[in-house]
Structure 1
Amino acid sequence: MLAETICCAVSAAGLGIAAVTAYRRRFLKAARITAYALVPLGLVLTGVVEWLSGIVFQPAVWIGFGLLALSWVLLATTRAVERRGAGASGKGPGAVAPAASAPALGGGATGPAARPQGAPAEDFSDIEAILKKHGI
């Protein structure tokens, strides 16, 4: 009841402002204000305000929203842990055996292609010296 009264008061105030604006011969702006002022009144007459206020003030509805949020957090957490575990152990669904790429590398080739995938491409002593210089 209170929500409906507030919406009707807002609509009445908006229509009053629209009337003053029209009196000042700003008809386009007055029509726009009238359109916005009629929205709360339309929501009251269609019953949307009563429905929303019924949802907002019922504790069972908020418990339901809390349970939905908890289930979403649990699903997101389990997916994140699953992805982290699959990437760390290398046994995920898309894991490939290390020897599977050996023929593509040219067998016993020497040089950059024969280097293991995790090996560094160059010496990082200059980077280590810069880090030590800054105390890192």
Structure 2
Amino acid sequence: MYDDATWFPVCAGLSALGVVAAFFAFRRRGAAAGIRLFGWAVLPMAIYLTGMVRLLWTVGAALVKWVSGFVFSPYVWSGLALFGVAAICLPVAAAMRRRQAARAGEVETGRASTGTRAGSGAVGSSAAGTAGTAGSGRTGTAKDAGKPKQVEQGKGPAKRQGTKGGKGKEEDPLAEFEDIDEILKRRGIS
């Protein structure tokens, strides 16, 4: 079936026609068109000289045989039907898994947030009560726990017992911030 003597004139003729067409394309449409057509023109001879004609002939013959057996074979059509079933089943199963995982995630986050809310309310209210009663003897509420307390100088228990240098001397807790306050006042910020 395959014969070198048959393919040489075919490839040489195709290349010669391509070179002539490239010459005319070069004159009419410019250098880019001529060079592009010349590149296509030399391919048939390159294929023949490298021995790829035999490879292309073998591949082409096997492809034609497969297609002709494919069209008339009931086994092949049943195989195609199974490919179709697989192509439908696999994405559907993946989508179902994603949906189940999303539902499980929603249920878990719902359980966790419900448990956290109930627990944080109890802890928050006891913490607020403790914070409110720590220094002043007042009872605090949950509303007061989130608000910062204003510190006024000269009012309330602003001084505490300190043990600086081993002496029982009272110190102002804001004494450490006097330098910062002075700098802010000099710059007109405070």
TM-score under structure 2 normalisation? 0.36
- Greater relative contact order (Cα 8 A, min sep 6): structure 1 or 2? 1
* Greater C-alpha Rg: 2
TM-score under structure 1 normalisation? 0.46
